[in-house]
Homo-oligomer: A and B are copies of this chain.
């Protein structure tokens, strides 16, 4: 039985990447030495680091006037780093709230400066883009294009008259993107990139160097840029694995191919849910996440049985976020269509035997 892991994060990594990581875990550049046992300043690791950055630049077509930083601390570290680096003493940041993560980001930012908040959700925990309103005059505007808890997504990049900052932890590399529309893109690695503990920051270079005096060094973009993300010892193994994931994406058609596959996976699953009267998803179709498909059983009494039987069929970690309950299938780049098909088959059989 093949296991399919639908965890929202830390999420499954591509099978081929894990196979190679296992094969070379103890023998990287020479026998008996793991990549995680190399100095971050060794020639061998520097090559890993540079290749990873170059491959990410290629995949996302990141313009040269953007720095790519490999940082500690997860997306929550960036919740602090972004205002510390980008919010001036006299300025204001606008935070668009579309779910759990953007709300948390706004709350953290308010510790460091003036923050204005706009809730852009509608009554159905979907999105109302008209609520974004005027965006001129802010130091930056922050939003989260994919909210994992509710499975809500804003695919089209909003028009914005201030520097636009996006938390792409759960959607980076899942769709083609025009990086030049953004001032800063950041992503915790543990969904679409690699293991937990690494954070990607793609930031326009002219925005670097204005950090507040009380910015912890590990969150200061200038120090990260000047030291090639090695101001302190970086999480080297996570960096290496992220690099292997980038190679895997390249070898599998790049972001365009990932995007086509992601859209096909999500479409199949939503189509099945919509056609069923046993399962439901309440998000407006255009704001449905391709990465995190949330759904409820009409009879919530069956939730435990659903989860237990799913596990026994090798379908793991389908429980929804504790804040909203129900189910959630996270189907990032690494999830093959076969996993989604196996889930649909199981859901279909479960529905038939419980109706």
Interface residues of A (CB under 8 A from B): 2-3, 5, 7-13, 18-19, 21-22, 25-26, 30-34, 36-40, 42, 72-77, 79-81, 84, 108, 111-112, 188, 190, 195-198, 213-219, 231-238, 314, 316-317
Contact A32 B3 (CB under 8 A): yes
A10 contact from B10, B12, B37, Cβ within 8 A: B37
B232 touches A76 (CB 8 A): yes
Known: A36-B13, A40-B196. A77 touches B235 (CB 8 A): no
- Option from B25, B76, B197, B218 in Cβ contact (under 8 Å) with A217: B76
CB-nearest residue of chain B to A231: B76
Q: Chain copies in the assembly?
A: 2
* Closest B residue, CB atoms, query A238: B197
Assuming the contacts A218-B80, A233-B190, asked whether A37 and B22 have C-beta atoms less than 8 A apart, the reply is: no
Find chain B residues with CB under 8 A from A317 CB.
Answer: 39, 42
Task: Kindly state the separation between the CA atoms of A75 and B72 in the bound complex, as whole angstroms.
Answer: 11
CB–CB A217/B79 < 8 A: yes
> Are A39 and B196 touching (Cβ within 8 A)?
no
Q: Considering the chains assembled together, what is the distance between the CA atoms of A319 and B296 in angstroms?
A: 59
Contact pick for A21, options B13, B25, B231, B232, CB 8 Å: B25
- Chain B residues closer than 8 Å to A22, beta-carbon distance: 22, 25-26
Contact B74 A37 (CB under 8 A): no
CA distance A232 to B9 in the complex (A): 11
When distances are taken between beta carbons in the complex, the residues of chain B under 8 Å from A40 are 10, 196
Residue of B nearest to A21 (CB): B25
- Given the known inter-chain contacts A36-B13, A197-B198, A235-B196, please indicate yes or no for A214 contacting B111, CB distance below 8 A: yes
A237 CA to B30 CA, complexed, in Å? 23
A77 near B18 with CB under 8 A, answer no
A326 CA / B2 CA spacing, docked (Å): 53
